[in-house]
């Protein structure tokens, strides 16, 4: 079935209305009715949409609000039967992720279902509790939102934003030579760095940065996901070895205490994989991988620019405190230059074309998944 598309001008009400509906439902999920009504009243005062009289905008917004609140009370206790379960999106050791749709509002989400028996068997209850506590308190445009969570006798369910483009790992592997060009790599890396900077400002260490834990949304927005290995560490160092072998920093390999600078190291590994298609310390044997990590032994590929090599070299440093701060990563010349190139390319591609909004049905999305 061919996906139908509706084309609107960038200033028309239909485009604005669709975006507003998504934000309405997200806010109801996150902050409840009272706080949302305060926000809504402020929106009414500020509402100005080009080519539409303000009173028309107000009437349309009020209609949307009545529609949303008539469908689901703000104090509703969520349960699995509130959702229509669609196609599987992924599978992990302790659970599965499905495309799901809230029945009344038809809002599409990702539903992560974990089985209590499996969590108890592997003594992972604390990890899930920590994941929920951390992710529900984070609020950043490049961090995947956990909209809500609930449980029953057998399962724990997390309701997350749905990323239509999926894992960045799959996107990376679909590229020529399984790598991104430098403008794309820089544009994505900047978003990850900003998400990590925010995490660290909230005393959160992610500890498992890799392409599989990055999700791609429309307009090339990257969101950091999977906080299963993350930890809230406001004052003390950690000593748990966790994460993915190819991304482990030297201090973890040597079972030393560590802090948030482990994420800076992982960002360097991520940048390398974006540009080369594989991590810098990858080997067929784990012992060899660890040896390379301890010695910070890796090589650059001929196609990599000098500026990208410099950035990676400043992140893959054995002494944690000597690694380039995330603020400096965001302001690095290679990042700034290539982000400008990326933005310019995308603007050129859009020039002369009106905004398109894909009218993707539930059936089509399930088929895509």
- The reply, when asked if residue 213 is annotated as ligand binding, is yes
Closest CA to 189 of 246, 260, 250, 272: 272
Q: Decide: 264 and 326 in contact? Cβ < 8 Å.
A: yes
Radius of gyration in angstroms for the set of CA atoms belonging to the chain, rounded to a whole number:
22
- Within 8 A by CB and 6+ apart from 204, the residues are 134, 138, 227, 230, 231, 232, 233
The DSSP symbol for 115 reads E
DSSP class per residue in 146-172: EEEEEE-SSEEEEEEE--TT-BHHHHH
* Cα–Cα distance, 205 to 208 (Å, whole number): 9
* Cα–Cα distance, 83 to 255 (Å, whole number): 44
Q: Is 98 exposed, middle or buried, given 0-12, 13-18 or 19+ CB atoms closer than 10 A?
A: buried
- The reply, when asked if residue 321 is annotated as ligand binding, is no
- The reply, when asked if residue 161 is annotated as ligand binding, is yes
Out of 122, 181, 194, 208, the active site residue is 208
- The reply, when asked if residue 154 is annotated as ligand binding, is no
- The reply, when asked if residue 163 is annotated as ligand binding, is yes
- The reply, when asked if residue 226 is annotated as ligand binding, is yes
Other C-beta atoms lying within 10 Å of the C-beta of residue 356: 12
Q: Note if 328 is an active site residue.
A: no
Active site residues: 208
Binding residues for ATP: 93, 112, 161-163, 212-213, 226
Binding residues: 93, 112, 161-163, 212-213, 226
């Amino acid at each position: 079935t061919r996906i139908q598309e509706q084309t609107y001008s960038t200033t028309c009400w239909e485009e604005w209305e669709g975006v507003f509906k998504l934000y309405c439902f997200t806010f109801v999920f996150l902050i409840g009715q009272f706080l949302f009504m305060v926000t809504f009243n402020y929106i009414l005062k500020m509402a100005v949409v080009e080519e539409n009289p303000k009173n028309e905008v107000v009437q349309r917004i009020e209609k949307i609000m009545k529609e949303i609140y008539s469908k689901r009370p703000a104090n509703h206790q969520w349960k699995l039967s509130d959702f229509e379960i669609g196609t599987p999106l992924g599978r992990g050791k302790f659970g599965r992720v499905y495309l799901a749709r809230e029945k009344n509002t038809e809002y599409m989400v990702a539903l992560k279902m974990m089985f209590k028996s499996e969590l108890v068997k592997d003594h992972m209850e604390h990890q899930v509790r920590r994941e929920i506590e951390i992710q529900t308190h984070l609020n950043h445009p490049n961090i995947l939102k956990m909209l809500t969570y609930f449980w029953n006798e057998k399962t724990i369910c997390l309701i997350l934003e749905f990323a239509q483009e999926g894992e960045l790992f799959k996107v990376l592997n679909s590229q020529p030579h399984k790598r991104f060009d430098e403008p794309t790599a820089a544009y994505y890396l900047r978003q990850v760095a900003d998400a990590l900077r925010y995490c660290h400002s909230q005393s959160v260490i992610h500890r498992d940065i890799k392409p599989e834990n990055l999700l791609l949304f429309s307009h090339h927005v990257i969101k950091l996901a999977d906080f299963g290995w993350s930890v809230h560490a406001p004052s003390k160092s950690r000593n748990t070895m966790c994460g993915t072998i190819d991304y482990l920093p030297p201090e973890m390999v040597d079972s030393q205490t560590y802090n948030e600078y482990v994420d800076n190291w992982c960002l360097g590994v991520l940048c390398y994989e974006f540009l080369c298609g594989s991590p810098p310390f990858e080997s067929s044997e784990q012992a060899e991988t660890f040896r390379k990590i301890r010695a910070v032994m890796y090589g650059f590929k001929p196609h990599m620019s000098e500026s990208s090599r410099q950035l990676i070299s400043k992140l893959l440093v054995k002494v944690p405190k000597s690694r380039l701060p995330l603020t400096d990563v965001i302001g690095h010349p290679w990042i700034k230059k290539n982000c400008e190139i990326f933005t310019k390319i995308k603007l050129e591609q859009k020039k002369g074309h009106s905004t398109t909004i894909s009218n993707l049905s539930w059936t089509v999305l399930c088929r895509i998944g």
